Homo-oligomer: A and B are copies of this chain.
Amino acid sequence: MAPPVRALLFDVFGTVVDWRTSVAREVTPFLAEHAPGTDPVEFAAAWRRRYQPAMDAVRSGARPFTRLDILHRENLEAVLADHGIDPAGLEEATLDHLNKAWHRLDPWPDSVEGLRRLKTRFIIAPLSNGNIALMLNLAKRAGLPWDAILGAEVAQAYKPSPAAYLRTAEILGLPPEACMLVAAHNGDLAAARRCGFRTAFIPRPTEYGPDQAKDLLPEQDWDFVAPSFPALADQLGCPPA
């Protein structure tokens, strides 16, 4: 018999927070000044498109573990250049503030209430590819009541590498079966399941905007499927808010 779930580990970008509209909001004043006419939402999406490729160098072992703030910064400079802005012509403080747009992401409207409820029965922590400072600053600003900040930097491995999940369970002193990944992405859940984690799918159908084509539906029989964090809390028997 599987052990009871003790820890809920959360994907964050897309699952807990709305990175797309938040990053767009954060870059809007900069773009208005330096690249008038650029669509901030398109800029955010272009920045995000460089996210997975940047981590691939670490996943493959070609590059030692490098925290996401640094990868985001490299990607930012490339995206600026793609939009005709020379990053070398900008102040360091301007670049750093832009890069930390990822520390200022807004949660989905149900996230905080749901996490508060889930926290009463479970350990709750991010298992994100975001680094510790990013996750901590984001949580502090948004009021996410994590019990700990776990994830890629603590595990020294990027999801979906198995080490990201397995080391997290080991750090918690729990078998993988006592850990459940909560995510809006079927691929992340599939990787977690292969490591023995339980799985909860929370679709976020506008993460990529109104025309989103993927991750609208569960692609496997995940242990739980819920339309929001409070709905997951209901399914898991957590007391009401």
> Which residues on A are within 8 Å of B, measured CB to CB?
69, 123, 131-133, 135-136, 139-140, 146-150, 153-154, 171-174
Contacts and interface: CB of A to CB of B under 8 A. Distances in A.
Copies in the complex: 2
Contacts of A150: 132
Nearest to A168: B132
A85 to B, nearest CB: 24
Contacts of A147: 136, 139-140, 146, 149
B132 A172 contact: yes
A152 to B, nearest CB: 12
Given A123-B140, A136-B172, 5 more contacts: A123-B136, A132-B172, A135-B148, A146-B147, A148-B149
A136 B150 CA distance: 11
A121 to B, nearest CB: 11
Contacts of A153: 171
A133 B172 contact: yes
Contacts of A140: 123, 147
Nearest to A150: B132
A133 B171 CA distance: 6
Given A123-B140, A140-B123, A154-B154, A148 B172 contact: no
A182 to B, nearest CB: 18
